[in-house]
Amino acid sequence: MAISIAVWTILLVVLMPARGLAGDGDSMEARRLQMVENQIVRRGIKSAAVLDAMRTVERHRFVPQAMVNRAYDDGPLRIGHGQTISQPYIVALMTETIKPLPGDRVLEIGTGSGYQSAVLSRLVEHVFSIEILAPLGEDARERLARLGYENVTVRIGDGYKGWPEEAPFDAIVVTAAPPTIPDALVEQLAEGGRMVVPVGVEDQELLLLTKKDGKVTRSVISLVRFVPMVHGDE
């Protein structure tokens, strides 16, 4: 049966958006896999578990709608309130640095949009995350629950104080830069625990702290640039 050009045009108009919508998910997955290979594997991240978490967690769910098309770019993105979601490589580097184990209880300082929390949740028993900015923390809590990250607990509070009632923690991840290492966080680190934290004001260093026999050792991982860590009374 012959079909007129006008009818073909109508069919194309109807069908093309459906194909485009179906391809969005495929496109995001492809970009996420490319992100891991090009930005993370090539820079030396080797942990199979961390790489799998980075491939699994949908980063585009954790950025503002206007930024979705840039979700897998090689860099940080603004998420509002003067805060950012970290560069994918930095998320992977910090995660690998703490050597997460399935039974670990992890404290995160600076929930942001919840992306780092989501990555950690795929690797450990439970993530306790503190966000000082209520709008960000509340949005992250809702987002993580909606996406099924049931082993993440978010509270609004001062990260400098940590979460003493849930301490000690097997690992601590700090996603904002204090000028010096907060004593409360060191105290809440378990024996054998690991903490990764960017420290400094203008010149920042990403440090790994490990606690053994009550003593803390530190090593420099990289030079970095993070937003400042804010006190609760500021």
Is residue 44 within 8 Å of residue 51, measured between CB atoms?
no
- Which residue in 62, 127, 116 sits closest to 90, CA to CA? 116
Angstrom CA distances, 84 to 9, 46, 81, 111, stand at 44, 25, 9, 10
Q: Which of 4, 27, 47, 86 is catalytic?
A: 86
Q: Is 86 a catalytic residue?
A: yes
Give, as one character, the DSSP assignment of residue 209. E
Q: Which residue is associated with the tokens 């006190």? A: 231
Quick one: which H or E segment has residue 72?
Answer: none
Is residue 232 within 8 Å of residue 157, measured between CB atoms?
yes
- 125 CB burial (10 A radius; 0-12, 13-18, 19+): middle
Outline where DSSP puts E strands in the chain: 77-80, 83-85, 105-109, 126-131, 152-156, 169-174, 189-199, 204-212, 215-224
User: Mind telling me the catalytic residues?
Assistant: 86
